[in-house]
Structure 1
Amino acid sequence: MTDSPPSLDPVQLGAYFDLIEVTSLLRHAVEQQLREAGDLSYVQFQLLARLGDSPSGSHRMTDLADGVVYSRSGLTYQAGLLEKAGLVVRAPSPDDERSVTVTITDAGRALLARVLPGHIEVVSGLLFEPLSPDDVVTLAGLLAPVREHMRSTPPRSAAPRRRGGKA
C-alpha cells in the first residue's frame, strides 16, 4: 500500500488561490499608493507604521524584522535608506549593547501622516468595501487563528544565527 501525497480538496484549493490573488492585488495597489504619496516601499511603510504606533516611537531591529517578517539584513538595508532620508535614527539599544534600536523622527511621523489617509482609502476601497460589517468581523475571526498558527513557529528572522559554519 503506497501513501498518496497530501492534497487539497477543490474548496481548499480555490480558497488558497483566492487568498493569494486577493493578497497580490491588494499589495500591488498599496505599494503603488505608497510610492506615489511618499516614495516608500511597502516594507518601509510597515517600519514607519510600527514605529509610529509605538508609544516610545522605537523598536529593536530584531523585533521589527520579526514583526514585518523580513530578513535582518534586508531590514538593515531598508532602515538605512529611511535613516538617510531622515525618517528614522538608529542607535545601540539601551537594554542590550548587541542590539540596535530604531526610532522614528518628526520627519518620519510627518511622512506617515501624509501617506496614511491614501493607504486607508486603498485598503478600505479594495478590501472592505465589498464586505458587510458582519463579513469584516467574520474575516477577522477567520484570519486571526490562521495568523496565530503561522506565528507559532518563529519567523526566519528569529532563528538563531549561524556563526563560522557552526549551527
Structure 2
Amino acid sequence: MPETPPPLDPVQLGAYFALMEVAGLLRHAVEQQLREAGDLSYVQFQLLARLGLDSPSGSERMTDLADGVVYSRSGLTYQAGLLEKAGLVKRARSADDDRGVTVTITDTGRALLAKVLPGHTEVLNQQLFQPLSREDAKALAGLLIPVRDHMRSAPPRSAAARRQR
C-alpha cells in the first residue's frame, strides 16, 4: 500500500486556498470581460491568443492546442468548430499527418483578438497586478513557473503529449 502523505500544515493550506480563490476570482473577471467585449469563452480566447500571439505561423495542430490549454481534445474540437463557424479560425488536414488537423487563425480572428486584448489587459492589471509591486510580480512568477513546470512534467491526459505511432 502507498504511504499516506503528511497532512498540509496551516501555511500550506492557507497558500492553497488563497491561490484557488485568486484563480477563481480572476477567471470570473476575465470571462466576464471576454463575453462582453467579444462574445468569447475563456477557452476560445486561449485558442485565439495561442494562434494569434504565440504561433509565428498563426497555425497549430489541434492536439498541441489541447495540450497547451489543458482541455480535452473532444471539447477543443467543439470549441474550434464554433470559432470556425464564426469565421475566426480555419481547420484543415495536417500536411504531415492525414489524421491530424491544423487550426489557423483568420484575419477576422486576429481582429477580434485585437479588439478584446486591451480590456483583457486592463482586467489583469486591475485584478492581479495593481496590488503588487514589480518585484512582487517577479516573485510571483518565480514561484509559479517552477510549480507549473513540475505539474507539466506529469500532466493530466488533456495536457500530455500524444505518443507518436
Where does residue 51 of structure 2 map in the other structure? Answer: 51
Partner-residue secondary structure (3-state), 1:98: strand
Does 2:143 match 1:142?
A: yes
Question: Match of 1:88, as an amino acid?
Answer: V
The TM-score, its normalising length taken from structure 2, stands at 0.93
Instruction: Give the structure-1-normalised TM-score.
Output: 0.91
Tell me which residue corresponds to 2:13: 13
In the alignment, structure 2 segments of 5+ residues that lack a partner are none
Preserved CA contact (<8 Å) 2:63 2:73: yes
Residue 4 of structure 1: how far off its partner (Å)? 6.0
Query: Displacement of 1:159 after TM fit?
Result: 6.6
User: Higher Cα Rg: structure 1 or 2?
Assistant: 1
Shift of 1:154: 3.4
Task: Confirm or deny: 8 A CA contact 1:66 1:155 kept in the other structure.
Answer: no
Q: Secondary structure, in 3 states, of the residue corresponding to 1:97?
A: strand
Secondary structure, aligned partner of 2:99:
coil
Q: Does 1:106 align with 2:136?
A: no
- Check conservation: 2:93, 2:102, Cα contact below 8 A: yes
Secondary structure at the counterpart of residue 103 of structure 1: strand
The range that moved more, 30-39 or 95-104, is: 95-104
Q: Distance in 2 between matches of 1:58 and 1:49?
A: 11
- Taking the aligned partners of 2:145 and 2:80, their CA distance within structure 1 comes to 28
Find runs of 4+ consecutive structure 1 residues off by over 2 angstroms: 3-6, 157-161
Q: 1:144 and 1:50 mapped to 2: Cα distance?
A: 18
1:151 maps to 152
Write the distance in 2 (CA, Å) between the matches of 1:146 and 1:106. 36
| Residue in 2 that maps onto 1:87 | 88
Equivalent position of 1:165 in the other structure: none
> Deviation of residue 6 (structure 1)?
3.0
Aligned length, in residue pairs: 159
CA contact (8 A) 2:67 2:161 kept: no
In structure 2, the residue corresponding to 1:141 is in which secondary structure?
A: helix
Asked if the contact 2:64–2:161 (Cα under 8 Å) also holds between the matched residues in 1, the reply is no
The alpha carbon displacement at 1:5 in A equals 5.5
Unaligned runs of 5+ in 1: 162-167
Shift in CA distance, 144/160, structure 1 to aligned 2, threshold 3 Å:
closer
